[in-house]
Structure 1
Amino acid sequence: MVLKTIFLTRHGFRANWFDEPAPLHPSGLEPPDTPLSAHGLLQAQELSHFLTPQQPHITRIYSSPWYRCIQTVEPLASALHVKIIPEPGLGEWYGLNRTDDPTPATAAELQNFYAGIEPDHQSLFVPAVTGESIEELYERGAYVLSRLIKQLDEDPSGPESVVLCTHAASLVAFSRVLAGDVPSDPSTQDIIAYTACVTRFERQSGVPVRVLPMPGAPHRSLQRDWLDERARGGRWRCVLNGYGGFLSSGRQRGWRFSGKESFDHKVQAHGLDAGTGLGVVLPDEGPQGNGVSQL
């Protein structure tokens, strides 16, 4: 087992959170979905400055294929000279009973906006457009993490540190799974999901990963068997929880689950984000340096 560190981050500030036009892409092309605002692009630069010197040295970057997530880790990928691996399993959560979820761009389409996209990645998991409950989001996180950790453990190049860029709900759910600590009330504010902040997990012990059956498979039942340490390759400890001390504007646009699993409104591809319908947006915090986990 060689993977030692997992960094999770949420995308930066979205353009449609500000009453201003989105910054134009140098190519002049229309972004495939809602991009970052000018402030979000600054957050991406600050995130890169923080993560670039981290040890163990980061050699893999996986991102949700939504454009705002790709933009968030572009500066980091450029600084580290690594490609961004678009992984649908890290994508947005849209709750239950939906058949019209927006879909992200393909790797080929994303290469029109950023050349450093890994085009040959075989997706670990593609979320169903029929929707997911919160419990099924945990299942998705457990499956994606088990496959990803196993792949990196077995990679002959020996990657020790990886960055995962995702969305608020996915970050909270994946972090709970990785910690092996899922509260009975999903609205519990344990994992901090502010824009462009960093949650860091360190591997405390390692065992061979037991990859779980794919969510939605006929033989799959929601038994929370991913709480078994073997499903995530051992014990992981959260040592930074939503750390934003490197962000000049501090921690912003935080999010937590509300307990709701269905929208009251239609979500357009370029419209409101999932968090406005399924979660609670938290107050902004000023520049701060506290990111020590209580998990």
Structure 2
Amino acid sequence: MGLLSQSSPFACSGRFSYPPVKPSPSVRVGGLLFSPLPRHLTFQSSASPLPSLLLSLPPNLHRPLLQLPFRPLSLSTSRSAYQPPTMPLETIYIARHGFRINWVTENWSTPTKMARDPPLAGYGIAQAEKLGAHLASPPDGEPKPELVFSSPFYRCIQTSAPLGKALGVEIRLEHGIMEWYSTVPIATPQLLHPRPSDPTTLSVHFPPGTLDLAYSSTYYPSRLGETLSDLLLRARLFLIAFLRRIEEEYPDVKTICLIGHAASVIALGRALTGDKDLEVTAGCCTVSTYKRKTQGDKPATVGDWDITKNGDASFLEKGVERNWSFRDVVLSPEGEVIQDQGVPGTGVEQNLPLGIAPGFEKYLPASDLPQLSSSL
């Protein structure tokens, strides 16, 4: 689900091996090789003296979740090596979207025409306005967000829009915090889950200046779905790369806000705090506050944050509504999340891009990977 690379201007070339299984075919796109995800992966780099890495990950062998560099990137297309920030992030707000229209009626449509992309109900729009006003003028001397990041689903952009307008900032879309879907069965053709369009395409549904059309997502989940372990790993991989990217590209920013879905809100909270059992309140438009434990020249990363407000709904008239947790997940007799059939008609579509987006490999150095699975 992640991209193995070295913290250098080049994506390393190397080889990988795993126990004998019957994997799905690898797909090479440009300089990247997309391969099935084995449970135990050994990656040896020919471009670095670092030792081989043994990474234990969920055994979803039929899903092509892992990106591996296939050949070095040229200097003209590669980003420079990561540099620690001088003014690191200090505060992160994470909120869930507002009340969805499909909770009110079965007779609804969406401007995006994408499956499973319901807009907010009128009540949810009112909640989003209250969330925007609350974070644009936080109580108790808390800082305002300087950047706003949203899941690219329509309801999340609707929820983010009032805050972006109040702050005078454009919303940046991040697939790394998008909706969680369970795995799809192996089939021919292989059906997929929906993936929202790019910012330019989505911008026609909102007033000019709502979305940042130049910003590109750091991470892309698989359209073949995720187990719960996959989701938790996605949150960690995304945050490691995303936080470093933000601190480098926006070195003066100390406070940001992310607006996503119940599952991603909880997974992000667990990754930030390093508490794999953390119960995050994820009601409609509730917002949790995370404060960085330490400062200095160390890059922001997972496990370095305290949750100081959990699912705050003090600004909402009815408080916490439609709270959701992982206890609400329906499991199969084997103890795994029940599979989803995917969206009809998607068998001809692609599952790419996937994992850490090309160009952002330096933000997920190989030295960070051995600890990931043990902390899930």
TM over 0.5: yes
Residues in 2 aligned to 1:60 and 1:72: alpha-carbon distance in whole angstroms: 15
Aligned mates of 1:48, 1:268 — CA distance in 2: 33
Which residues of 2 match residues 4-43 of structure 1 at below 5 A? 4-19=90-105, 32=114, 33-43=117-127
DSSP-derived class of the 1:254 partner: coil
| 1:256 equivalent among 325, 340, 343 | 325
What does residue 136 of structure 1 align with? 230
Residue from 145, 168, 171 that aligns with 1:81? 168
* Aligned length in residues: 239
Letter in 1 for 2:274: G
Using the TM superposition, give the Cα deviation of residue 46 of structure 1 relative to its aligned residue in structure 2, in angstroms. 0.6
| 1:111 and 2:203 are equivalent in the alignment | yes
TM-score (norm 1): 0.74
Deviation at 1:31, TM superposition (A): 5.9
| Residue-by-residue CA offset, 1:252-280 (whole Å, 9 max, x unaligned) | 111011353434665669xxxxxxxxxxx
Q: Deviations over 1:220-269 (max 9, x none)?
A: xxxxxxxxxx743x621101111101001221111011353434665669
Alignment of 1:274-293 (within 5 A): none
Q: What pairs up with 1:213-224 in 2 under 5 angstroms? A: none
Q: Could you tell me how far 1:145 is from its partner in structure 2?
A: 1.1
8 A contact 1:15–1:21 mirrored in 2? no
**Identical residues among aligned pairs (%):** 32
SS of 1:7 mapped into structure 2: strand
Is 1:235 equivalent to 2:307 in the alignment? no
Cα deviations by residue, 1:73-129 (Å, 9 ceiling, x for unpaired): 100000101010011111111022354212223211211012311112222111111
In structure 1, the gaps of 5 or more residues are 184-188, 210-229, 270-295
Residue aligning to 1:145: 239
- In the alignment, is the contact (CA less than 8 A) between 2:90 and 2:254 conserved in 1? yes
- Give distance in 1, aligned partners of 2:123 and 2:107: 12
Deviation at 1:157, TM superposition (A): 4.9
1:2-52, Cα deviation, whole Å (9 max, x unpaired): 211000001100010002765x99xxx566531000000000001011100
The amino acid across from 2:123 in the alignment is H
Q: Per the alignment, do residues 110 and 174 of structure 1 end up closer, same or farther by CA in structure 2, a change over 3 Å counting?
A: same
Greater alpha carbon shift after TM alignment, 197-206 vs 49-58: 49-58
Distance in 2 (CA, whole Å) between partners of 1:122 and 1:265 is: 28
The residue identity in structure 2 corresponding to 1:111 is S
CA distance in 2, matches of 1:190, 1:157: 31
Mean Cα deviation higher: 249-258 or 64-73: 249-258
Within the candidate set 141, 144, 147, 1:57 is matched to 144
Structure 1's 204 and 134: CA in aligned 2 closer, same or farther, altered over 3 A? Answer: same
SS at match of 2:290: strand
* 1:236/1:113 CA distance change after superposition, 3 Å: same
Give 1:90's aligned residue.
177
Q: Distance in 1 between matches of 2:170 and 2:150?
A: 10
Show structure 2 runs of 5+ residues with no match. 1-86, 186-190, 345-376
Please provide the CA RMSD for this pair. Answer: 2.3
